[in-house]
Structure 1
Amino acid sequence: MAKAAQTVVSFRIIVEQPVIGVVHSLQSKDDLPLDPKSSREGESLAFDFSVRVGPGPTFYGDQVRREGSTRRFVYVRVGQLAGDPSSPWSRRIKIDIHDIDEDLLTRAAKSDGVIETTVIGTAKDGTPICATARPAARRLAEL
C-alpha cells in the first residue's frame, strides 16, 4: 500500500503497577530492545511510538507485529528480553491494536492526540505479566 494512503497516528503504552526494578522495553522491527526503562518505586512506565494506519484499518510500523490476516499487536519486552541479562524473567507482553475502534483512530489522526493504552504490569502471583494483556483502559490523550 502506498504510504500516501496511510495516516500516522501516535500511540502510547502505559504499564501500570510494573514489578519494581524489572526492565521493560518496546520491541523494534529488528527484535532489539527499544527505550528500556524500569520502575524504581512502582511508578508507571510509558512507551511512545508511531503507527501508520491505512484503510481497513490496517496497521504498519516498526513496532507492529502481525498474526494471521488481521491481528496486529505490539510487544513490550520484559527482563532479559528487554536487555537485562541478570533478570530472572524473559517475557513479552502482547498488546493488541487491531481491535481499536475506528472512531478513536479517526479522532487521533485528526488531532494532535495519542491513543493511550494502559495495561497492568504485575500478575496475581507478583511476577511481571506476559502473554496477551487486556487493556485496563484505552483513550485519546494529549501528546
Structure 2
Amino acid sequence: MARTDQSDIGMRIVINQPVAGVLHSLQAKDGHPLDPKSSGAGEPLAFDFAIRVGPGPKFFGDQVRREGPERRFVYIRVGQAAGDPLSPWTRRMKIDIHDIEQALLDAAVSGAGRIEISVNGTGQDGTPACATVRATGRRLVAATADMSR
C-alpha cells in the first residue's frame, strides 16, 4: 500500500494499576526498550506514539507488530525486557489495535485527537500483566488534552 494512502494518527496506551516500581516501555522497531518508565505508587503510565492507518483498515508504524494476515498489536515490555536487569520479571504485554472501531479511527484521522487505549497493568496473581492484555477502554483524547499523563 502506498504511503500516500495512509494517514498518521496519534496513539496513547495507558497502563492503569501497574505494579509499583516495575519498569515498562514501548518496544522499539529494533526490539529494544523505548521510553522506559515506572510507577512509584501504582499511578498510571502513559506511552505516546504515532501509527499510520490505511484503508481496510491496515496499520503501519515502528511500534506496530503483526501476527497473521489481520492481527496488529503493540508490545509493552515489562521488567528485564524493559531494561531493568534486576527485575524478577521478563515479560511483554500484547495490546491489540486491529479491532479499533472505525468511527474512532475516522475521528483520529480527521485530526480530532489521538486514540487512547487503557489496559490493566496487574495480572490476577498480583504480578505485572503479560501476554495478550485486553483493553479496558478506548476513547478519543482531544488534541488539546494534556499529553504528559
Q: Is residue 65 from structure 1 mapped to residue 65 from structure 2 by the alignment? A: yes
Q: Is residue 56 from structure 1 mapped to residue 52 from structure 2 by the alignment? A: no
| Deviation of the 1:2 alpha carbon | 1.3
Distance 2:112 2:33 in 1: 27
Aligned positions of 1:72-111 closer than 5 A: 72-111=72-111
Distance 1:106 1:25 in 2: 27
Determine the structure 2 residue equivalent to 1:3: 3
Determine the structure 1 residue equivalent to 2:22: 22
Q: What TM-score do you get using the length of structure 1 for normalisation?
A: 0.98
| Deviation of the 1:112 alpha carbon | 3.9
Distance 2:22 2:124 in 1: 16
Aligned positions of 1:118-133 closer than 5 A: 118-133=118-133
Q: Look up the equivalent residue of 2:2 and give its one-letter code.
A: A
Structure 1: where are the runs of 5+ without partners?
none
Q: Look up the equivalent residue of 2:99 and give its one-letter code.
A: D
Count of aligned positions: 143
| Deviation of the 1:57 alpha carbon | 0.4
Determine the structure 1 residue equivalent to 2:37: 37
Structure 2: where are the runs of 5+ without partners?
144-149
Q: What TM-score do you get using the length of structure 2 for normalisation?
A: 0.94
Q: Look up the equivalent residue of 1:82 and give its one-letter code.
A: A
Q: Look up the equivalent residue of 2:48 and give its one-letter code.
A: D
SS of 1:35 mapped into structure 2 = strand
Q: Look up the equivalent residue of 1:99 and give its one-letter code.
A: D
Q: Look up the equivalent residue of 2:84 and give its one-letter code.
A: D
Distance 1:68 1:56 in 2: 15
Distance 2:93 2:68 in 1: 18
